[in-house]
Copies of this chain bind each other. A is one copy, B any other.
Amino acid sequence: MKKQSHITLADIAGRLGVSRVTVSKALRGHPDISDGMSKNVRRVASELGYSPNRMARNLSARKSHLLGLVVPKIAHFFFGSVIETVYAKALEHKYETILMVSHENEEQEVQHLQTLVSMRVDGIIISVSARLKDTRIFDWVKKMGIPLLFMDRVPDPPPKGSTAVIVDDYGGSVLAIEQALAVGYTTIGCIGGDRNVNIGRNRVQGYTDTLKRQGIPVREEWIIAGGYGTEAGYNGFMRLHENGQVPRCVFAVTYPVALGVYAAAKARNIRIPQDMDVICFGDSDVGSLLTPALSCVSQPTQRLGEESVRILMEMIDHPESVPGGSRVIPTELILRETCVASKGAAVLSGEALRVRN
Contact = CB atoms under 8 A, between A and B. Distances in A.
Nearest to A81: B75
Contact of A144 (B49, B100, B288): B49
Nearest to A266: B289
Contact count band on A: 35 or more
Contacts of A291: 290-291
A148 to B, nearest CB: 13
Contact of A267 (B98, B263, B350): B350
A320 interface: yes
Interface string A36-70: 00000000000001011111101100101000000
Contacts of A52: 118
A15 interface: no
Contact of A119 (B55, B59, B266): B55
A64 B58 CA distance: 13
Contacts of A64: 55
Contact of A96 (B56, B96, B115): B115
A345 to B, nearest CB: 21
A56 B64 CA distance: 12
A83 B163 CA distance: 29
Contacts of A97: 99
Nearest to A291: B291
A255 to B, nearest CB: 10
Interface stretch (A1-9, A169-177, A180-188, A198-206): A1-9
Contacts of A6: 120, 144-145
A320 B2 CA distance: 9
Nearest to A56: B59
Contacts of A83: 74-75
A138 interface: no
Contacts of A101: 84, 87
Contact of A53 (B77, B118, B267, B286): B118
Task: Report, nearest first, the 7 A-B pairs whose CB atoms are least far apart.
Answer: A4-B145, A75-B80, A291-B291, A55-B59, A75-B81, A54-B118, A74-B80
Given A74-B74, A74-B83, 17 more contacts: A3-B145, A6-B120, A49-B143, A49-B144, A51-B114, A53-B118, A53-B120, A54-B115, A55-B55, A55-B64, A75-B84, A75-B285, A87-B99, A96-B115, A230-B285, A259-B286, A263-B288
